Amino acid sequence: MEVIKADVLGYCFGVRRAVDAANEALESKNNSQSVYSLGPLIHNPTVLNTLLSKGLQILNTENISSIEENALVVIRAHGTSPEILNALEKKGARIVDATCPRVHSSQNLAAKAGEQGIPVIIAGDRNHGEVTGIAAFAGKNVIVIETVEEAQALEEMEEALFLSQTTFSMELFTRMKEILSKKITRLQVVSSICPATRERQEALRKLEGRADGILVIGGKESANTRRLFETAASICSKTALIEDEKEIPEDFFGLKRVALTAGASTPDSVIEKVELRLKEGV
């Protein structure tokens, strides 16, 4: 069997930075300290289980009051809200901020717009941690849209700031921008989509017609991995989303050529194991 890998796949800068920060916190803690991540650090079960085995604990926003003073709390790449950061500081937690720099930039832009009374429109999954965090920085005058239909339904306004989730579809963001530009007199558009997401999408599209099947490797809860899977399914009729080599569908072993791509939270080690398993056969 021939295995073709996308030119760009796997870990992005922000995720690698967050994982490194968690590992450093676990290595530097003293015997009495606990190390938490605010929510699952990464949407990849393999990596997360490894960190949990080293002592990382997952902290939910609802139980911040239960953490001990001087605990180390890693803020994941998605970031969080000002209210949560204040609550952690009041508990005496030591914050390790691994928020992706691009998310930080969006948070700062949203906060500035909110202070100036400018409405903030965010394109993204309204239940995603990154989006809820940016929205919290914007204040009350914020709107989250997920679809073209929701963009079309917005009322006309004089001014607004238009941002997006870093893993949002560039194509969809562009379509929304075109719609909003006709409804909003002064529309400030900031393309906050991470290049890593776009690069993985473009590299995947280059594989069209070159393989009998495509395997997308990554956590099933990962937004950018799910979008990779949607793209893969649009260019190849035989596509599967797997988290590790154990999940490779049996019928893929009978194919002559299989293409691989992986989400931004997928480590090289997992990709290598999938490739090796394919080459070994059933």
Q: What share of the chain is helix, strand, coil (3-state, %, to 5)?
A: 45, 20, 35
Q: How far apart are CA 278 and CA 102, in angstroms?
A: 36
Q: Give DSSP secondary structure letters for 22-89.
A: HHHHHHH--TT--EEEES-SSS-HHHHHHHHHTTEEEE-GGGGGGSPTT-EEEEPTT---HHHHHHHH
Is 27 catalytic? The answer is no
Residue at 220: amino acid letter: K
Class of residue 233 by CB neighbours under 10 A (exposed 0-12, middle 13-18, buried 19+): middle
What is the biggest distance separating any 2 CA atoms in the chain, rounded to whole angstroms?
Answer: 61
List the one residue out of 10, 39, 13 whose CA is nearest residue 225: 10
State both tokens at 145. Answer: 């849209």
Report helix, strand or coil for 163.
strand
List the one residue out of 90, 80, 84, 74 whose CA is nearest residue 37: 74
Annotated catalytic residue: which of 24, 62, 69, 130?
A: 130
Q: Catalytic residues, which ones?
A: 130
